[in-house]
Structure 1
């Protein structure tokens, strides 16, 4: 146990870089998937119910009956629904969101070599996670619906809710990488004095 303790204590910078690489992989992958129809269709309940994002869509989709009538299951191709999403701006929004997410991942990754960029990447990751976690409040699909069972509503997370709640980890990771970047900047300043 002593060797493991010494290894972990002496490897903190490398392990934080591993966190950066992990954030980058998640963001590049998820952001990249936003360019595909099934992923764009899948984010519509979150976007339509979000006071932060719903205004970016072309139609008033906050009306539950509207977007729910045009949801595609993952992998499903219903031409009428796809046309509705095109007119709604779902795909354009998804492309833009995906681009932002990939850029945030790149900023976090660049923090390995450029601590000032790393601070920005980490803090923006933290901010993005706050928006994502707000979906637990704004999106009904994050909770198990009342379909006759005894386990529904709070605290019973649906698959969408379980996906969202994991952003607490991303939030903490963003702060950790930002903190480590700030520490390197301060160390450099002190060494220069």
Structure 2
């Protein structure tokens, strides 16, 4: 029984010692996700893919020239090209907005990563990530495409998420991670003030 207790204590102490590493891994994960997703915003297929979210958002729809639900007639599959639909997206400001959003997303990720060395910078970055996550999570309420539509199967609506809905709900984990990183930065800032 003593060997089991010793092994359990070893496992628990090892796991407890990983807290600091875990916080750093969250920073790195946010950085990778935000650099990658932000970079994808420069590709037309990604810009076209976020149109339902932006067009239906009361906080962002003003960035577009066209009103919802007009975009539904101009949806493209990932990798598809249709000249008329592409021109509609150009007129809608789809690509310009997406590129600006991409720059913002990459900046938030980079600032969060810098929190490894500069807690004040990381505090700002993780705070911006938190604000952004509240914005993206609002799409669950504002975007009709996040719920399975009624197409006859009898399986539709809440709580049945589409691919778009499943993509959005995952942002809860980024929000939680950003709160942990924000708290870590705040603790380090306070500790540095006492010196």
- CA-atom RMSD in angstroms: 0.9
Alignment of 1:85-104 (within 5 A): 85-104=89-108
Task: Tell me if 1:58 matches 2:62.
Answer: no
TM value normalised by structure 1: 0.95
Q: Counterpart in 2 of 1:166?
A: 170
What number of residue pairs does the alignment pair up? Answer: 188
Deviations 1:9-35 (A, max 9, x none): 222222101110000000000010000
Structure 1 segments of 4 or more deviating over 4 A? Answer: none
Q: CA deviation at 1:121?
A: 1.1
Q: Secondary structure at the match of 2:50?
A: helix
Gaps spanning 5+ residues in structure 2: where? 1-7
1:148 aligns with one of 152, 155, 167: 152
In structure 2, how many angstroms separate the alpha carbons of the residues matched to 1:6 and 1:120?
32
Alignment of 1:1-193 (within 5 A): 1-59=8-66, 61-62=67-68, 64=69, 66-190=70-194, 192=195
In structure 1, how many angstroms separate the alpha carbons of the residues matched to 2:186 and 2:147?
38
Gaps spanning 5+ residues in structure 1: where? none
Q: CA deviation at 1:187?
A: 1.6
Q: CA deviation at 1:179?
A: 0.2
In structure 1, how many angstroms separate the alpha carbons of the residues matched to 2:140 and 2:157?
11
TM value normalised by structure 2: 0.94
